[in-house]
Amino acid sequence: MPSSSSEHRGSGLIARPGDRCDKSCNHTEEVGLRQLNPRQCIMRSHLLDASNWLVGLLSGLAYGVLFGLATRFLMGENWSAALIAGGATAPAFGLAMGLVNRRMKRLMAPVEGGALDRKQRGLALRAAQWGPIPDDPSVRAAAVEFARRQVAQADRRWARVTLIVGAVFLGLSSVLSLLDDDGDWLGVVLPLCGAATFVYLLFQPRLLRRRIAALSSNQPGDDSD
């Protein structure tokens, strides 16, 4: 019999924050139809253990560099404008990614009622949003729990206010770029896509409640909401 999770905390079917896997961990036991190797275990553990501020910092730096390069070479601005654009947008993006990382950690926390393997967990996460209703009751229950967690976070007042302000700001930015004779098409399309994303997230709780109702029924089927 394979060793229990008490011998290899990081070898469980569901990686949890704080789980570790040292270099001597072989993980040759078969998990379903897949096998884990030490590199996969270490990478997954590090991703889950990454602090919110570190994720935000690295994401902000990467976004700032890419946005600055896009400003320089795609929009034709000089390096000073590119530096200002990258430096101005990096903190906001980094903060957003840090908050997203914190939200995902809460969402991915183990559900009550027993452990799921990785395939079941992936099915539950997808089923919480869209697609066929799972036949497995445990997967359906986990999907309902994941969806309820998302509703609880999205229904907070500060989250709704942030989405509304962000959508309005990006929408106005897109309109101003459209009215500007010297404006670039990227200045119109990118803010418009961001505004559309914020609007979708604003209405996401309503969609999730409909999904919860479909998952809570005992009749599996195809639901594309």
For the cut 70, the answer to whether the pLDDT of residue 78 exceeds it is: yes
What percent of the chain has a predicted confidence (pLDDT) above 90? Answer: 3
Residue 75: what pLDDT?
74
pTM for the model: 0.49
Say how far apart CA 86 and CA 92 lie, in whole Å: 11
Mean pLDDT of 66-70: 87
What letter would DSSP give residue 110? Answer: P
**Residue (of 152, 75, 66, 79) closest to 109 by Cα position:** 152
Q: How far is CA 187 from the centre of its chain?
A: 25
Among the listed residues 22, 29, 41, the one whose alpha carbon sits nearest the alpha carbon of residue 4: 29
* Cβ within 8 Å of residue 134, ≥6 positions away: 123, 124, 127, 140, 143, 220
CB 75, CB 61: distance < 8 Å: no
Question: Of the given ranges (25-29, 120-124, 174-178), which has the lowest mean pLDDT?
Answer: 25-29
pLDDT digits (tens, 9 = 90+) for 5-18: 443 444 333 444 44
* Terminal Cα-to-Cα distance of the chain (whole angstroms): 42
Query: What is the distance between the alpha carbons of residues 36 and 13, in angstroms, rounded to a whole number?
Result: 10
Of 30-44, 86-100, 187-201, the poorest mean pLDDT is in: 30-44
**Tens digit of each residue's pLDDT (9 = 90 or more) over 164-223:** 887 788 888 777 777 776 667 767 777 788 888 888 888 888 888 998 998 888 554 444
